[in-house]
Chain A
């Protein structure tokens, strides 16, 4: 009975979001800040969830996200630039080597596949490493990929350190949402399967998991490749969102940004990552922008406000979360209607506490 009601709520919520998106898509809001935030938020949500699958659910602390995004973005761009535009894009390389182009969806899937293949190759040696070593090795891998793509000798394929552009992008706001929703849905299905439970067992205690008969190498590799696949897809989406892509922006700072989104949302919570992606993007692109400009109240100049202050405030907020609210927004919980219902019936847990007390006193009698 309850299950059915919750399902109904979920469908209603989804319909509401869809209606709102369509409304924005067809109104003058389409080119507004709101629409930009929504698009970027949806893409970041996918990137954050894919990182969470690895860091939060499998307990593998990997910092290679930017490298896999870079692979995805470049694969998509290289494969989909229309043949007639290649002369202009690859102007220093005689139009480049690749003289065909594939449809958008094929490009996106190829982006994920290339990222996953690289993840498999790099995973063979590095997944044997433990926490910090894995982190630094994957971080290093991302740096290697970035250097490789900017290498002039590979220029006919990657366009060296020059910008890639003129590839097809999306026209509707719904597109990034649809892709993200499908991908996140697949990740959630994976997490809920027996594989997902194996991932969590590895996170909690590797040795115990191995003793229970879980094949560590296989499951770690699976989580690593899946996460990279979706990071690659996310990278392709980011390329579409930006309408151009250049390797030099995919630095470790980008990985850290996504890691911080995961931390704010709660390590090990899919809904937490989604919520915090939108919050993070909205704050950094919009709501906290005023911190970067000088303001005057009458003749009084508000102190501290100056270009760059936003990022300082941001980093302080992040430190506060890391130090005092280590669970983030959602901890390891997921969004559930039951919790919301409970909240409305009993906003501050007062009734629950009283009941608890009654139970204790009756059991004493």
Chain B
């Protein structure tokens, strides 16, 4: 039997992973709330942010590259929306989804080409990876920083959406695009800002995630991306607190499954089983709105 501190350590690790999924899941849930589109490329934008960090930090210091990475990722996210999603605004849902899969394919293949397909070591960011001791446990600083930072960002985002003009515009567009347009809201700007926020959070998540796992591969974004999407569905797509809760549930359970070597292979499968169960019993998720289909 393991002692108590082992489980506490697992729980801490689970909360960290959950926080990272939460940061990615928010990008999914916001885009889905507004465009009704699963942005399959979101996980790959997260991966691209990892590579940006590797390349930029090889030329300048870590602290200069952090903001540059955030900016580049945001540009990439908005560019993807401009090029691949905006021209298909009026197209059938399936086309847009295929376009999203195409972008994901392109980003992965480009990363494979650019890096030669090998895993690249992620630069060490000293203030995230130094070790701290709490009581009898020694953990990386980012295990503590990640959940705190996530909570701060989520609170800021909820305030942004509920208390500011742009937040109100986002809610309006999510409710009804045509009416929002008639009210003078510039739909395209609102959508771009959604992608800015989503990509920014993905970049923050990427810095924390890859500092923890220490290397980046071209397909590194696919699984965390899908899991974050499941988290978003679990919480009710379009709901930010729901996505965060879902992310924590998945992160913690997954960490415990991974710790048991007999069942470790099911750590990914668990997430999808959870997805199917939730879709069967509560198709609109824990906090999602029920959407009636209009004839």
Q: Interface residues, chain A, CB within 8 Å of chain B?
A: 55, 59, 61, 122, 125-126, 128-133, 135-137, 139-141, 143-144, 146-148, 150-153, 161, 207, 252, 256, 259-260, 263, 267, 306-309, 311-312, 314-316, 318-319, 322-323, 326
From B32, B109, B230, B272, contact of A312 by CB (8 A): B109
Known contacts A129-B279, A322-B95; can you find 7 more A-B pairs with CB under 8 A?
A: A122-B276, A129-B283, A130-B293, A140-B230, A307-B117, A308-B113, A318-B106
Residues of chain A within 8 A of B116, CB atoms compared: 306-308
Closest to A132 in B: B38
Residues of chain A within 8 A of B229, CB atoms compared: 136
| A136-B275, A140-B272, A323-B88 as given contacts; A316 in contact with B94, CB under 8 Å | no
From B102, B114, B117, B268, contact of A322 by CB (8 A): B102
**B93 in the interface (beta carbon within 8 A):** yes
The distance from the CB of B221 to the nearest CB of chain A, in whole angstroms, is 13
A252 vs B38: C-alpha distance when bound (angstroms): 16
Contact A322 B266 (CB under 8 A): no
Residues of chain A within 8 A of B280, CB atoms compared: 125-126, 128
From A125, A133, A311, A326, contact of B109 by CB (8 A): A311
| A143-B272, A322-B102 as given contacts; A315 in contact with B226, CB under 8 Å | no
The distance from the CB of B150 to the nearest CB of chain A, in whole angstroms, is 23
| A61-B94, A259-B101 as given contacts; A133 in contact with B106, CB under 8 Å | no
16 contacts between A and B (CB under 8 A): A126-B280, A132-B32, A133-B283, A135-B38, A143-B268, A144-B273, A147-B265, A150-B265, A153-B262, A207-B293, A260-B105, A316-B106, A319-B102, A319-B106, A323-B87, A323-B99
Task: Tell me if B's interface is mostly helix, strand, loop or mixed.
Answer: helix
A313 vs B102: C-alpha distance when bound (angstroms): 12
The distance from the CB of A16 to the nearest CB of chain B, in whole angstroms, is 34
**Size band of the interface chain B makes with A:** 35 or more
The distance from the CB of A143 to the nearest CB of chain B, in whole angstroms, is 5
Q: Interface residues, chain B, CB within 8 Å of chain A?
A: 32, 36-38, 83-84, 87-88, 91, 93-95, 97-99, 101-106, 109-110, 112-114, 116-117, 222, 226, 229-230, 233, 262, 265-266, 268-269, 271-273, 275-276, 279-280, 283, 293, 295
With most chain A CB atoms within 10 A of its CB, the pick from B36, B87, B94 is: B94
Contact B266 A147 (CB under 8 A): yes
A306 vs B115: C-alpha distance when bound (angstroms): 11
Contact B110 A315 (CB under 8 A): yes
From A136, A153, A315, contact of B105 by CB (8 A): A315
Residues of chain B within 8 A of A130, CB atoms compared: 293
User: Which 5 A-B pairs have CB atoms at the shortest separation, nearest pair first?
Assistant: A140-B272, A308-B113, A147-B269, A315-B106, A311-B109
A136 vs B225: C-alpha distance when bound (angstroms): 12
A59 vs B94: C-alpha distance when bound (angstroms): 9
A143 vs B273: C-alpha distance when bound (angstroms): 9
A153 vs B260: C-alpha distance when bound (angstroms): 14
The distance from the CB of A54 to the nearest CB of chain B, in whole angstroms, is 12
Residues of chain A within 8 A of B38, CB atoms compared: 132, 135-136
With most chain B CB atoms within 10 A of its CB, the pick from A152, A308, A314 is: A308
The distance from the CB of B88 to the nearest CB of chain A, in whole angstroms, is 7
The distance from the CB of A226 to the nearest CB of chain B, in whole angstroms, is 20
The distance from the CB of A291 to the nearest CB of chain B, in whole angstroms, is 10
With most chain A CB atoms within 10 A of its CB, the pick from B91, B101, B262 is: B101
A256 vs B107: C-alpha distance when bound (angstroms): 14
